[in-house]
Each structure stands twice: as C-alpha cells, then as structure tokens.
Amino acid sequence: MLRQPARVVAAGFGLAIAIGTVLLMLPVSSESGEATSWVSALFTSTSAVTVTGLFVVDTPTHWSTFGELVLLGLFQVGGFGIMTFASLLGLLVTRRLGLRMQRSAQAETKTLGLGDVRRVVLGVIALSLLVEAVTAVLLTARFATGYDEPFGSAVYLGIFHAVSAFNNAGFVLYSDSLMGFATDPWICLPIVAAFVLGGLGFPVLFELVRHLRRQQRRWSLHIRITLGAYAALSVVGPVAIIGFEWDNPATLGPHGVGGKLLAGFVQGMSPRTSGFNVLDVGAMQPASLLMSDVLMFIGGGSAGTAGGIKVTTFALLAFVMLAEIRGEPHVHVLGRKLPPEVHRQALTVVLAGVGLVLAATLALLVMTPFKLDDVLFEAVSAFATVGLSTGITPELPAAAQILLVVLMFVGRIGPITFASALALRERGRRYDLPEERPIVG
C-alpha cells in the first residue's frame, strides 16, 4: 500500500464500479424489466460508489427494488471503503513521518501492523452501523407514524435513507429528493446529523469517542482544526442560503418563518457534501448557487464520506495567508508550528482541484448549451462528490456524462491519494541552489 497507494485505492473503487455497472444493466434492476444502457448504468454506479448522488435516471421510478438494493450496497461499500482507505493512509503517513522524526530503527519499515489495520476496519464498521442504525430507527418511526407507511415500507425507507445519509450519498427514494419533507424536522434533522457525522471523518469521531471515555484528554491539532472550520462553515452556509432565498417565491418564499429557517438550514448544510436538497436548486438565486459552489469545493473532514478539498486544507491555507499578511516567518496554529511541507501540500491540493474543475467546466460549456452557472455547479458537484444539481444532469449528452463519471472518480480518490502521495514522497536534498526573489503581485 505504501509503494502504490493510488493504485490500490483506484483499483478497489474501479472494481466496485464495474460490478455495479454490470448489475445495474440487468433487466431485473429496472422497473420496466428492460436492460439499462451502459452509459446510464456506469454513471449511476460511479455516482453510488463515489457517494456522489448525481443521477441520469429517476431513482424511485427507473430502478426496481433489486436495483435500489444494488445502489444501497454500492454506496455502503463506497462509504466504508473511503473511510477505511483514507484512515489507513492517514495513519500510514503519520506513522512514517513520526518514526522518521524520532529516527527510530522501525522507520525503515514504514508499514502498518495488522493490529492497526484491524483497529481501523473494525472501528469504521462499528461506527457506520451504529450511526446508520440509530438514524434508521428514527426515520422508520417517522415514516410509519407521520406518513402512514406500512411497517415494512417504513423500515425499508428508513434504512435506505439512513445509509445514504451517513455515507453522504444523496440518493433518495423520492423524485423530488427531500423537498416533500422540507419543513419536517423529524425527517430532516436525523438526516443532517447522519451526514454531518459521516462527513467529519473517522479519525475525528474516533478521537471524540476516546475523549468522551476519558482515554484522551488533549485534542489533537487535526480535530481542533476540523471541528472549528466545520462549525464556522456550518453557520455561514445556512445563514447565506436563508438570507439569499428568504423572499424567493420558488424556494423559501411560500414557507412560514419556522419552515424557512429549517429548510434554509438543511439546504445550507447539504453542500458539505450530502447531496440532499429540500429546495429546488435550479430555482435558487445566482448568489446561492455561487455560495453552494464554494461550500461544495471545500467539502468536509478528512477520511470521511464527504468530498471536496477538505475543511482542514482550507483552514490551513487561511492560516498560511494570515501569517504572510502579518509578516510572520512561520505559521502557527493553535499553539503548534506548521512545517513548510504542509503549506506546499495544501496549496498543491487546492490548485490541482481548481484546475480540474475549470478544465471540466470549459469542456462542458463546449459540449452543452447550458449557461455557466449551471455547468460550473455541475462540475463542482461532481468533483466534490456532492450530488446537488440544477437539473441538467439527465439532459447532458453521453460524452458530457462520461466526463462527469471521470470527474466523480478522480474527485473521490484524487484528494485522498494525492495528499498522501505528496507526504510519502518527501525526501531531503544534499545541496541547495542560490536564492533569488522574483516580483510577486
């Protein structure tokens, strides 16, 4: 894994997507009993495995129960794989760099023991099942008592949406996503809680559990940055959406004050990257779309089911900028000094993401007749594996859909493997070159 982490991760996700594509192409997977085209099956399988949520066919009407169960299995496997792979790679990077700094004899092995792998895998499984089970019980109770669903149907709906929420998949068994539940806190809030927990990442949740059990008193720098940045953006997003959409007759306008606050809160949290929408995204104000673009691009926590460049990367760059503005020679964050290589890694990940999104946006503008707002939103949503859309996804030509497939795949495994590869490739130089400063700005 250390020598070729990108190949291991890419091969695992590629195999899952291929299996999902074959299963979704089977006639038994569709409601009509006819085979689904390979492009639609590939797009849907990729969207499920990368826990994105974009779709080119309507989920509840096109797929049979078998097809829906295939989707559930794909985004469960995808979410589990993301949290496991990312957590192991993060542990691997920390172990290697930590051992190297200590100049320990074990540093030359640069490997993880079976105990480490077992702890991470079992931890991810236990955490996933616990959150999904609690969420499923709450949703099942609401579907059964509030919407008169038969018990079996309520259980099915509860489990499907709980798994989709925790894995930030965004797949819903309703054609209008969660718009029909926009003012129902008993549906919306459990789903928000589930995708926030999934989006924070296993390392953060694991450390929180250890802290609650008093096994660890001091929080690490990673958890403090993640929680702080996540909390700040969780305020900015809902406040912006509520403010921009308050009087929009096509979104929040028809609701009462309480309904506006709840729906605006859910819609403002969703770009972090759950993909559930309680408002008509295509009818939102341009300012709301741009704010959603920013939130989607930033994403959630490292080693979680959310996508994007990650809140930690975003926060680190903010600290770097602050130190430069102040004229400080070093970057200090919450009582800790950041090594220069972390600055470079964060900058590289962000610029690579920006370049990929801009290239995809330009290609989509060339291939489709849609305006920039819609195309940019689609590209960012695919790269950040969010799943929100202004409604143009099913109308895209096959070539554009294939481009989004590539973007979802790269957007999901790229930041994970790219960041770890940058850290693992660090090596010293035996000499340095003469220093010269070019003009900046």
Q: Where are the domains of the chain?
A: 5-424
Distance CA 209, CA 216 (A): 9
CB 13 within 8 A of CB 42: no
Token pair, residue 427, equals 């090596």
Task: Give the predicted TM-score (pTM) of the model.
Answer: 0.88
Token pair, residue 31, equals 């409601």
Structure-token match 């554009």, residue found: 400
CB 276 within 8 A of CB 269: no
Distance CA 159, CA 42 (A): 24
Chain CA centroid to CA 174, Å? 21
pLDDT tens for each residue of the chain, 441 residues long: 445 556 677 788 889 999 999 999 999 999 999 999 999 999 999 999 999 999 999 999 999 999 999 999 999 998 887 777 766 666 665 654 444 333 333 333 344 455 566 777 788 888 889 999 999 999 999 999 999 999 999 999 999 999 999 999 999 999 999 999 999 999 999 999 999 999 888 888 888 888 777 766 778 888 899 999 999 999 999 999 999 999 999 999 999 999 999 999 999 999 987 889 999 999 999 999 999 999 999 998 877 788 889 898 899 999 999 988 988 888 888 888 888 878 888 888 898 899 999 999 999 999 999 999 999 999 999 999 999 999 999 999 999 999 999 999 988 887 666 555 555 555 555 666 676 667 666
